[in-house]
Amino acid sequence: MLYKYNMSSAETETSEDLVFKALAAPVRRAILDVLRDNPQTTGELCARFRALDRCTVMQHLKVLEAADLVIGHKVGRVRWNHLNALPIKEIHDRWIGPHAAQAVDRLARLKAGLEA
């Protein structure tokens, strides 16, 4: 009997699902770290990640583009890859921001209680 463990399918995946899946791989996070400082050509990324062949780097870039984390454009024969941090900010605003605000509120209450 076949069981479907991954309950999400391509039709029901949200943009947030794609971002989390893209960020799940350490090599893709490393690519985003490189792109954080400046845009890179695909050739520059391949040179930086020598353990991976060009095809593998391009597959990772495709996943990052599908999640809208990387924006690629061609200038002549060169493909430039730019970081798009907006999906990460949206994840932060939804998942991290509220928890951080609660932690700061708790610290403020603790400080007020200790000073009283």
CA distance linking residue 91 with residue 105, whole number of Å: 21
Whether 2 maps to a domain, the answer reads: no
Please name which of 81, 86, 87 lies closest in space to residue 35, comparing C-alpha atoms: 81
Q: What angle do CA 109, 115, 116 make, to 5 degrees?
A: 90
CATH number, domain containing residue 43: 1.10.10.10
Whether 107 maps to a domain, the answer reads: yes
> Which residues, at least 6 apart from 77, have a Cβ–Cβ distance to it below 8 Å?
none
Whether 3 maps to a domain, the answer reads: no
Which residue range forms the structural domain that includes residue 112? 85-116
Please name which of 20, 21, 18, 65 lies closest in space to residue 45, comparing C-alpha atoms: 65
Tens digits of residue pLDDT in 64-74: 999 999 999 99
> pTM to 2 decimals?
0.75
Residues forming beta bridges with residue 75, ordered by sequence position: 78
Task: Give the total number of structural domains in the chain.
Answer: 2
Tens digits of residue pLDDT in 53-107: 999 999 999 999 999 999 999 999 999 999 999 999 998 888 888 788 788 888 8
The verdict on 65 and 115 lying in the same domain is no
